[in-house]
Chains A and B, each alone.
Chain A
Amino acid sequence: MSATQTRSAEGAAAAGGEHRSRGPAGPDAGYNFGYLDENTKRMIRRALLKAVAIPGHQVPFGSREMPLPYGWGTGGIQVTAAVIGPDDTLKVIDQGADDTTNAVSIRRFFARVTGVETTERTAEATIIQTRHRIPETPLHEGQVLVYQVPMPEPLFRLEPSVTETRRMHALADYSLMHVKLYEDIVRHGHIATSYNYPVMVNGRYLMSPSPIPAFDNPKMHRMPALQLFGAGREKRIYAVPPWTEVRSLDFEDHPFEPVRADAACALCGSRESYLDEVVTDDRGGRMFVCSDTDYCHTRQARREAAE
Chain B
Amino acid sequence: MMHDLPHHPHPDPPPPAGEGRGGGVSGGACPLLAAHGLSLRYGAVPALDDVSLSIWPGEVVAIVGESGSGKTTLLRVLSGLLRPEAGEVLYRDPEGAAHSIHGMGEAALRRLHRSDWGFVHQNPRDGLRLGVSAGGNIGERLMATGARHYGCIRAAASDWLRRVEIDPARLDHLPRTFSGGMQQRLQIARTLVTHPRLVFMDEPTGGLDVSVQARLLDLIRGLVAELGLSVLLVTHDIAAARLLAHRMLVMRRGRVVESGLTDRVLDDPQHEYTQLLVASVLAA
Which positions in A face B, CB cutoff 8 Å?
167, 170-171, 173, 175-176, 178-179, 182-183, 185-186, 250-254
Contact = CB atoms under 8 A, between A and B. Distances in A.
A193 to B, nearest CB: 15
Interface of B: 106-107, 110, 114, 129, 132-133, 135-136, 139-141, 143-144, 148-151, 153, 172
Contacts of B107: 170-171
Contact of B148 (A170, A183, A252): A252
Nearest to A254: B150
Nearest to B172: A186
A75 to B, nearest CB: 30
Nearest to B110: A171
B148 A182 contact: no
Given A173-B144, A178-B143, A182-B143, A252 B132 contact: no
A186 B133 CA distance: 8
A253 B150 contact: yes
Nearest to B153: A182
Given A179-B129, A252-B149, A253-B151, 11 more contacts: A167-B106, A170-B106, A171-B106, A173-B144, A175-B140, A176-B140, A179-B143, A182-B139, A186-B172, A252-B150, A254-B150
Contacts of B148: 178, 250-252
A208 to B, nearest CB: 20
B5 to A, nearest CB: 39
A76 B135 CA distance: 40
Contacts of B110: 171, 173
- Residue in A171, A175, A250 whose Cβ sees the most chain B Cβ within 10 Å: A175
Nearest to B141: A175
23 contacts: A171-B110, A173-B114, A178-B148, A179-B129, A179-B136, A179-B139, A179-B143, A182-B135, A182-B136, A182-B139, A182-B150, A182-B153, A183-B136, A185-B150, A186-B135, A186-B136, A250-B148, A251-B149, A251-B150, A251-B153, A252-B150, A253-B150, A253-B151
B106 A179 contact: no
Contacts of B144: 173, 175
Contacts of B143: 175, 178-179, 182
Contacts of A179: 129, 132, 136, 139-140, 143
7 smallest CB-CB distances across A and B, nearest first, come from: A175-B144, A178-B143, A251-B150, A175-B143, A252-B149, A171-B107, A179-B136
A158 to B, nearest CB: 10
Contacts of A252: 148-150
- Residue in A170, A179, A183, A251 whose Cβ sees the most chain B Cβ within 10 Å: A179
A175 B143 CA distance: 6
Nearest to A251: B150
Nearest to A167: B106
Contacts of A170: 106-107
A253 B154 CA distance: 12
Contacts of A186: 133, 135-136, 172
Contact of B149 (A167, A173, A176, A253): A253
A252 B154 CA distance: 13
Contacts of B135: 182, 186
Contacts of A175: 114, 140-141, 143-144
A254 B143 CA distance: 14
Nearest to A250: B148
A263 B129 CA distance: 41
A74 B216 CA distance: 57
Contacts of A167: 106
Nearest to B139: A182
A167 B143 CA distance: 18
Contacts of B150: 182, 185, 251-254
Nearest to A252: B149
A143 B202 CA distance: 57
Given A171-B110, A251-B150, A183 B132 contact: yes
